[in-house]
Structure 1
């Protein structure tokens, strides 16, 4: 394997005292070292070891920028004589043995990686082979931060510190996605260094492309604070092997006949599905992990009246909407939209769908937009919830985006096991009791006060009362609540409690039955 001048200087400095030119080339161009013979010509792309006695002979050589002259000496010179690029304080034999071992190590690594690819070994296997060579943790991640493969000498390193769903790792993901530096390297070719001030851990990285776009990233993590830029060309070679693995291990398994429907159905139906494999299959079909997706769920109950079939609806959606994959599922129709491929916004999509849904007398639920593949099943669940809950809550509407029903859904879920009056603020019930017994208007006053973000002037204006009257009422309210209404958590709890009471009243009005005893 060819090594770079900068890498040789970096490795030699770990064993010897070294003086080297600044800005030595970083690309791998040099082959096995040889001992320079006085009077011989310089061969391109070779490392020549020479002694101080041979300096005069070297000065008469024509400049050959693609070869490297390495001086072995008893004392390092103050400056390097031309054309020497590196001087080492050691004997020729010691340096020659060191370099031979170095080249042999990386030759062996190159051959092992290439053989592993011929044998169809996994990406994880490639990282395992490379870990001893780099002596730093390695990982391959998707652009949605899913970990494809990882290798470290510390088994617990990755779950604790890198790209997961743990609370400790969420700030890392947030800082990455909001970093302008992260955005600037997203589509870089070749190796690059990502700084530690963004994530707390620096790294050397190489983007891996599929279909002309960066789909994965190989990272070498700087856990020991000693990573050298001179290792970048080695990381590029490993990235080439990983790219080869993606091409031949993923794309062969995902034939053109394997449709988006098949892959998406696997994500929905198989709770034990390997989401990394699903993500790779979608990547191979052009639906990349960096794209933005949303899900639509259509109810089929009224289709017969319109002479519609599930297949005809699916075909219609896929024909009129670029980046759509629609298929029957679970008594309804599921449609995933790749908003990146279609170049739609969510608003555009809703406008395109509203007339079709209404003209067809269908009901539809929409999930939120999300990036990547890891939430496809959750988006499907969101869309079903939006349809089922939205139809029940707002029967006069046919389109139900999840964002429109999410708060009502939270309240509904909260009251599944306990009625609203048992969940709301206990002292608020006492306030209601006081209104009922004394004819006061404290509940309405408090609600208006909270709705106006505790603004006294605005609240008094809406209630058509004097400011001093409002302040008097608030003091009485605080006495009953046994609170000064200064805690944000308590204010949130009180506002939720009013909604729970509203739900109780709505339920009472629907059922026409009397409520059970709510107060002590």
Structure 2
């Protein structure tokens, strides 16, 4: 890694150096050498270290040189103003061997960092790996976020203690409202959005300086780096290091784009096979998951987005799928059976689950989709089962609660069981006799005892609360419930019998919603 005299000076503050360095100097130094009087040539990529006693005449600075001088004399002082060289002067009390070792350590420090960045890219690491190894360089909190202000990666070391707004941002995982609103409202927002090199910017909400750097693709900002000045004062050295970090972020974007191009079709086939329940050996599954940096026993969640329009094209679905992918980075999306399938690795995703669900629901409402949400599963081998869960949730949900947009399988698991039973038996034959009798009695005498019993049971047999739900006097409700119990001989103290009755109500509700041609049954109270 090439470094500059300014970068060296930043690391030797404890030696109280005097600096005579050009502001325009670019990082170009690759090595160090001890200067001797018999040197015949000077290398512009080398920083030389020498004692002031070796500077004996005006010819010392006849060539451009990067030099650290230990000690100071009149000849040196006279040459400084006449030279365009970059010079650092240290007190004569320092041992030259100690200084050489110190400067060598600085080169090793920066080279080690760049090697870590390279290894992260070559070994399939993501943006978070780059941020993790860069925190020791910047010693300030760092964020990567996309054009929608969704947090992609952030420095975890000590970040939560830096600032309340910063902590809230990384906890939410999206929005960045407090940090970015002031930038959006500023006159220089358009300028900030187009910059390609790191710059200093003052953020009002954080009340401090920051470094901002954009990564742009096709003239659009896709990722922005934000480094806030909280623990360590930012300077020109940090701008250069931010530029290097940007280079490796671009490498990851290019690597992943190439992998996706060459491997994407294969991956789609693999995931489709998994949704269909086709058998793969464990080694093959791990191979495909490795491409995403996923593991077999990570924690997963599966979402289905189903368009209302049956005539919607695959190209349109791809557009909506990309909208989701750009917001929920790190997911795997594919189009399958005219639905958008979103597979989320919760072990790798840095957003809270509730924030993922909140975004998904907003997407469904905004674009007139209906969505199914599986239960969380902790083995990728269970993906077929949980695809069925999400599919059943959205299929049953749209029939039972048509005004909703998102349906959780946990709310429809019982209906799923009933749905499976309906293929083999008459569902009324599974109902408790008391429920069937009340349906018949209501139909014959035009009363509503069926619903009265349901309210009574789900209100834990509370007379006051049940009467309130039905909007009748307590005494009227007591009369009705006694009539019901006498009519059905139901033992409301028997837990098994009550469970059977409540299950029967679910069966009746399923019949009412899913089989409209069946004998009409009443709606249950929304209590």
| TM-score under structure 1 length normalisation | 0.49
- Using the size of structure 2 for normalisation, the TM-score is 0.48
